Structure formats: structure tokens, C-alpha cells
């Protein structure tokens, strides 16, 4: 099961976050900081799967954007890795370039899905 979805730039700033389990706001900032530190500090030669606390992190880098998905221990890492890639391909097809302006639209889409 997917626990959260993050889009982060190379400077470590969260551009988009979506949580699928309740996490308090103050804990989110700590969690995001630790997750970002873990993923951004890894080299390109290292695996894109990281075990962190009671879940796994699956991440991919696209130019200056990192997409990080937190999953539970039973989820298939390769399936989530491909899900990230398919998500970016759809954004690329639809918007012709995945850039920061696209993130504003995504925020609106994710906020509509809460209704």
C-alpha cells in the first residue's frame, strides 16, 4: 500500500506531497526532511529502493525533480518504480514538459480528489 507521494527538487524543497494515511503536520515536516535527506544523498549508482523505519522508499530522478513514494513492506518495489515512470510519462505527454508550473495543476488535482 502506498503511504505517501512526494515531489522534491534538487534543493530538497517539497513541491508536492500527498499522504494516504493520517500523519500530523509537525511529523510530516520531520518525515519529509529525513526522506529527502536519505534519497538526495544517494549516488546515481545506488539502488532506488531504500528501507526506512517501518516502510520502504522508492524514488526516481527526472532532471531536477525527485519523485519519492513511501510504501509498506508488502508492496512490490518494481511495480511502484514503474508506476512513477508511467506517471511522469503521462505528465510529459499531456503537458509536453514536466516543469514547476505543472506542479500547481497537480496540487489542484490532488485537492479535488479529497472532495
Distance, CA of 6 to CA of 115 (rounded, Å): 20
pLDDT-derived band at 115 (thresholds 50, 70, 90) equals: very low
What pLDDT does 106 receive?
Answer: 65
Distance, CA of 95 to CA of 92 (rounded, Å): 5
Distance, CA of 115 to CA of 83 (rounded, Å): 24
Distance, CA of 31 to CA of 27 (rounded, Å): 6
**Tens-place pLDDT, residues 56-79:** 999 998 888 899 999 999 999 999
pTM of the entire predicted model:
0.80
**Tens-place pLDDT, residues 73-107:** 999 999 999 999 998 888 777 766 655 556 666 66
What pLDDT does 24 receive?
Answer: 93
What pLDDT does 104 receive?
Answer: 63
Going along the chain from its start, the domains and CATH numbers come out as 2-100 (3.30.450.60)
Distance, CA of 70 to CA of 2 (rounded, Å): 6
Amino acid at each position: 500500500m502506498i503511504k505517501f507521494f512526494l515531489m522534491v527538487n534538487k534543493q530538497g524543497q517539497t513541491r508536492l506531497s500527498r499522504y494516504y494515511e493520517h500523519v500530523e503536520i509537525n511529523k510530516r515536516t520531520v518525515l519529509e526532511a529525513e526522506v529527502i535527506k536519505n534519497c538526495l544523498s544517494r549516488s546515481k549508482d545506488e539502488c532506488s529502493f531504500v528501507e526506512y523505519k517501518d516502510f520502504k522508499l522508492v524514488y526516481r530522478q527526472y532532471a531536477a525533480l525527485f519523485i519519492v513514494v513511501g510504501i509498506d513492506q508488502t508492496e512490490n518495489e518494481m511495480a511502484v518504480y514503474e508506476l512513477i515512470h508511467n506517471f511522469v510519462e503521462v505528465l510529459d505527454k499531456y503537458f509536453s514538459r514536466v516543469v514547476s508550473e505543472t506542479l500547481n495543476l497537480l496540487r489542484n488535482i490532488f485537492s479535488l480528489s479529497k472532495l
